[in-house]
Structure 1
């Protein structure tokens, strides 16, 4: 009998979560077996359970934000060794690659070493947030398509361009702010709750506005900050009301980057475009070369403090605590903080 582990299992579509046992998987070519010490939660996790979206095969193990220790190497893996502390972007489409279990398989290409300055908990807040920011800013088809900062030398003489990021205190919003700073945008304008003003400014936002401002109020406020046209709005929330605000801010031929499907439509002949970005490096139609390049930078970014992980709250009771954490997220009871579970503490 194969060695067993504990996992948080979604037994059926729109069903209930249950902590159960399943076999510890064996890494294949290009994969690592990771003992998961920290797994972060994301809104997509409760949306899969409640709405029955994305996942088609059950039972399933959800979660994509992984931090832990390499236990075993698959064939062809050269840049890691057993005992390395790593973070990785999991894959809820494959039960052996979900984060909400004690051992998971990680694709080496989308894995990075954790610098000694970072904990498992801090590292676990990075993968999906950074990948969604990367896809939305730099993706050619599912993003704004700007040149990544690691692929060019930032010229101090280039004219500074503004960017607006709606929902800057969210995980995706926070990493988008940080990458916008790295890409040389100015001003970096963001919205959030007033209680998160200091947080988003710590991430690199140059100007903060209350997320409750109407589109017209926000436009007036932004016009006092910059007279340059807003060509990129990244809506990290992407609810109907925020999409409407972002669309209203956008200049002619601008791009509204969304994390959910677009609900806005062009009816004024301005040539504006709304794109639904997807932060998964595992999907074949997504720009996997872009993700390979960005994952090659993550250890350096963390080591040098270029990327600052999210604030976090540790959930009790190991995998069992994820259930209540997802419910809190669904009820909008979490703000400016990433929830993190410790699978090894499951009783």
Structure 2
């Protein structure tokens, strides 16, 4: 049922084919299926995965495609069977990828239809720009840590939103590589909420104060030689070493470091396939791949818990969204922004565009 007049056509940034050039074109406003809502997007955030979708057609075989994994805006229409949401609600939304159909319904558009069960309700204290930084990268940090589905591996920690979970892992040390990345900032915060201390992060020194405010106890200069970084991190760890290593960037230069720092029996989380981790690989280090897609069936239980807890955690300031840099021109700012992401010219902020400002 619609709550307002909704156009039939919108402006969207279309990917015509794998490796094609993105262009702004008229595109139908989606119709709602059962359990879905229509969101008028006020903000959309850029992600490295969007670069892979454009260049290589990652996950996509149906074209033209609207890519984009992160957005935030206001619900303007409610589909059949939706409970707990109303027109006018402020929400953050993850672009929906259908793995069976190889199709994406992304956020580089003025409207997106999405299953209501995957929405994040935003408190008034969180802007749409800030909200758009969360739907993809926050779950990438959180779900792998707290998922207890028997069909996936992970640290299987008790979540900080469950009874007894807040601060449970006090006395255990964590290291977060790529701490100023979007995923890294959220990994630091969830490590703090879970009680880990010390929390050692690697980042540019320019971001040290911000990461300390999020919960890092020490920030090491990521530009140091790997041997120096390893020695400096080990000097900050307790005798038992790091119980959790979270490589939020998983680059060729960081993967061996994370593996080296993880103590025997510890958990190492990576965000891309690790390949060879280092000399003398120890089978006692448990390596887990972070998967942030909300629609993955094995994520279902922890997704429901996380999305239910997040509004309160955001309102209380327990979780803080990433700082943002807003690009001008609405959707026209996306191609240049993705080039910056591709060339690793973004640090400490999330690039955001305003779809409704598209000329």
Cα distance, 1:159 vs structure 2: 4.7
In structure 2, relative to structure 1, the CA distance for the partners of 1:37 and 1:156 (3 Å cut) is closer
Q: Is structure 2 residue 198 aligned with structure 1 residue 187?
A: yes
1:42-78: per-residue Cα shift (whole Å, max 9, x none)?
A: 1110121123322222211111111111111111111
Q: TM-score, normalised by structure 2?
A: 0.91
Distance 1:4 1:158 in 2: 51
Distance 1:215 1:96 in 2: 39
Matching residue within 134, 150, 163 for 2:161:
150
Q: Is structure 2 residue 128 aligned with structure 1 residue 128?
A: no
Matching residue within 29, 34, 37 for 1:29:
34
Within 5 A, what are the aligned runs for 1:102-121? 102-121=110-129
Matching residue within 54, 67, 81 for 1:49:
54
Q: Is structure 2 residue 284 aligned with structure 1 residue 271?
A: yes
1:167-220: per-residue Cα shift (whole Å, max 9, x none)?
A: 110100001111111111111110001111112112111111111233432232
* Unaligned segments of structure 1, at least 5 residues: none
In structure 2, relative to structure 1, the CA distance for the partners of 1:306 and 1:232 (3 Å cut) is same
Distance 1:276 1:156 in 2: 24
| SS of alignment partner, residue 253 of structure 2 | helix
* Unaligned segments of structure 2, at least 5 residues: 1-6
Cα distance, 1:222 vs structure 2: 2.4
RMSD between superposed Cα atoms in Å: 1.9
Aligned twin of 1:67 = 72
Aligned twin of 1:167 = 178
Matching residue within 275, 279, 293 for 2:305:
293
Cα distance, 1:157 vs structure 2: 8.1
Distance 1:110 1:22 in 2: 24
Q: Is structure 2 residue 263 aligned with structure 1 residue 251?
A: yes
Aligned twin of 2:84 = 79
Cα distance, 1:126 vs structure 2: 1.2
Cα distance, 1:108 vs structure 2: 1.1
Cα distance, 1:252 vs structure 2: 1.1
| SS of alignment partner, residue 149 of structure 1 | coil
In structure 2, relative to structure 1, the CA distance for the partners of 1:16 and 1:156 (3 Å cut) is closer
Aligned twin of 1:201 = 212
| SS of alignment partner, residue 294 of structure 2 | coil
Matching residue within 210, 216, 220 for 2:221:
210
Q: How many residues align?
A: 345
Cα distance, 1:36 vs structure 2: 0.5
Matching residue within 42, 58, 81 for 2:63:
58
Q: Does the Cα contact within 8 Å between 2:249 and 2:271 map onto a contact in 1?
A: yes
Distance 1:224 1:124 in 2: 37
Aligned twin of 1:329 = 341
